[in-house]
Amino acid sequence: MSNGEEVWVLVVDDDRDAGGNLAEILSEVGYSVDVALSGEQALQLVRERVYRVALVDLKMPDQDGVSLYESIKECRPETACILTTAFGRSARVEEGLSAGVWCVFAKPIDVGRLLAAVEHATQQPTTLIVDDDKDFCDNLSQMLRQRGYRVRHVQDEHLAAERIDTGEYERLVVDLRLKNGDGRKLIERARRIRPNSQILLVTGYAEELAEEGSRRLLNGGVVEIETKPLQIERFLQRHFPAMGTEQP
């Protein structure tokens, strides 16, 4: 486990014993853990606190783990969700994986492997994507999740600024020109809030880079630039090498 920061993990299982055991195992190695006994309870907790990882049981009385993941994703897309299931690899599990579930553990759980996966997941940087094209955001998010990155995206400057102020990200992907805003302002803001975050600038208008404001940004030196349309393969390889969702 890393530095002094508290790392929160959420365990969701309707079986008190199962949830209690996982909570004990995780706390023992230093995580801060909450246990939810139902999907409803889990969503309440998720609204109140940012969890790096959620361990979600597939089968629960009030809703299934995959639909719970979908709801968690709406509220906290950057939370990595690990599914646990007493069924084998089912069609529902596959649906979960393609929706962005981090990885899946079959019960009875191999605790050693689970701890490694949780640690790996908590350490992956959170990427914040700021782009007014929602489809682009969705596509990129999905690709990044599959490569083992936790991702969140926002479309407008105002919300992005709020997000940036929370400091809950390590990487930033920003479109220079936003429909109602200016990516440059966001980058400057991000530099102030989290000077050590990695910032990646994406633009469809290469000529804008020549403008005075842009040059100032670039002269700062830490910003990397990609022009749209992205050559996605190359883009991913260069900036988001596959991390996998489990420790190798």
87 binds another protein (CB under 8 A): yes
Per-residue x/- mask for another protein, residues 49 to 68, rule CB under 8 A?
A: ----------xxx-------
Strand partners, 32: 8
CA distance 102 to 55: 10
Name the DSSP class of 240: -
In angstroms, what is the minimal distance from the CB of 111 to another protein? 4
Of residues 7, 9, 18, 186, which one binds another protein by CB under 8 A?
A: 18
92 binds another protein (CB under 8 A): no
Q: Omega into 195 within 30° of 0, i.e. cis?
A: no
User: Judged by CB, which is closer to another protein: 113, or 216?
Assistant: 113
Binding residue count for another protein, defined by CB under 8 A = 22
1 binds another protein (CB under 8 A): no
222 binds another protein (CB under 8 A): no
> What count of residues does the chain have?
248
66-85 positions binding another protein, by CB under 8 A: 84
- Reading the block at residue 32, the tokens are 């801060």
Sheet holding 8-12, edge to edge: 32-36, 8-12, 53-57, 80-85, 103-106
193 binds another protein (CB under 8 A): no
113 binds another protein (CB under 8 A): no
Name the DSSP class of 93: H
21-40 positions binding another protein, by CB under 8 A: 21-22, 24-25, 28
In terms of DSSP H, where are the helices of 11-105?
16-28, 39-48, 65-75, 91-99
Q: Which of 152, 207, 215, 210 is nearest to 187 (CA)?
A: 215
Contact positions toward another protein, by CB under 8 A? 14-15, 17-18, 20-22, 24-25, 28, 59-61, 84, 86-88, 106-109, 111
